[in-house]
């Protein structure tokens, strides 16, 4: 049995195949998933699973050098934005690596998901609960 915390085999498989600058998207239940991008649907009912625990589990497995968030999260879901930033700061302290945070308009974020190796759909039911995680490298 797998020793790590992340139990979802599809997510583990996607992360294991990722290289430097490849991306993985975590989205709320309303984020459109482009044709041709692998969909990993975790949504069970409205609100389950929540966005933050999924993000935290993935950050246990994936080394991230950059994240992309919708500019609109700052005004329309500021509490979630603050929570994400705090989690990223914790990751920086654990790994002794900086994580660049980029904000772009939500429409562009939706377009950027087409470049992701996969989009993980959560049951989150709050606006702009979407993030693109860009992989770093484990050697430096």
Whether residue 1 has pLDDT greater than 80: no
Query: What's the CATH number of domain 21-135, 3.40.1650.10, 3.40.228.10, 3.30.365.10, 3.60.110.10?
Result: 3.40.1650.10
Sheet-wide strand order for 64-70: 38-41, 118-121, 23-27, 131-135, 64-70, 100-104
Cβ–Cβ under 8 Å, residues 121 and 39: yes
Confidence of residue 2 (pLDDT cuts 50, 70, 90): low
Averaged over 89-107, what is the pLDDT?
95
Q: What is the pLDDT of residue 140?
A: 64
Rounded distance between C-alpha atoms, residue 31 and residue 73, angstroms: 14
pLDDT in tens, 29-84: 999 999 999 999 999 999 999 999 999 999 999 999 999 999 999 999 999 999 99
Does 20 participate in catalysis according to the annotation?
A: yes
120 to each of 75, 92, 125, 139, 140, how far by Cα in Å?
Answer: 24, 23, 14, 26, 28
| Annotated catalytic residue within 5, 17, 20, 94 | 20
């Amino acid at each position: 049995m797998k020793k790590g915390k992340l139990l979802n085999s599809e997510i583990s498989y996607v992360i294991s195949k990722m290289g430097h600058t490849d991306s993985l998207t975590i989205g709320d239940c309303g984020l459109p998933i482009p044709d041709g991008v692998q969909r990993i649907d975790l949504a069970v009912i409205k609100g389950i699973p929540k966005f933050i625990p999924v993000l935290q589990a993935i950050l246990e497995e994936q080394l991230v050098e950059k994240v992309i968030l919708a500019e609109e999260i700052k005004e329309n879901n500021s509490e979630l934005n603050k929570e994400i930033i705090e989690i990223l700061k914790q990751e920086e302290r654990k790994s002794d690596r900086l994580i660049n945070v980029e904000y772009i308009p939500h429409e562009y974020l939706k377009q950027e998901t087409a470049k992701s190796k996969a989009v993980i759909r959560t049951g989150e039911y709050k606006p702009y609960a979407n993030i693109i995680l860009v992989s770093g490298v484990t050697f430096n």
